[in-house]
Amino acid sequence: MTIQKPNEYILNVYKPVDKSSYDIVRIVKRILPGMKIGHGGTLDPFAEGVLLILIGKATKRMNELLKLRKSYEAILRLGKATAAGDNTT
């Protein structure tokens, strides 16, 4: 009996506040050299959350995955002003 290795993977990866979505892709590329790697949507660098990492043939399903329903949870601080209008300045 021959066991075949799957040719597509979708991983749910936690993205911390200090990393960009592409930082996570670069980390996975170092772990899996030679594999085609992408992500299923960008999270802002100052946002944390679950990032879909697409590996192999799963990268061809990106448009399909981007249409999936998403949910967001946020904490707001009212009355604070910044130069850029976000929490980076």
What pLDDT sits at residue 4?
62
Active-site annotation holder among 18, 23, 44, 86: 44
Contact call for residues 38 and 62 (beta carbons, < 8 A): yes
- 86 labelled catalytic: no
Q: 51-80: per-residue pLDDT in tens?
A: 999 999 999 998 888 888 888 888 878 888
Q: 24-40: per-residue pLDDT in tens?
A: 999 999 999 999 999 98
User: Residue 3 above 60 pLDDT?
Assistant: no
Whether the model pTM is above 0.85: no
Average pLDDT over residues 2-8: 69
What pLDDT sits at residue 88?
64
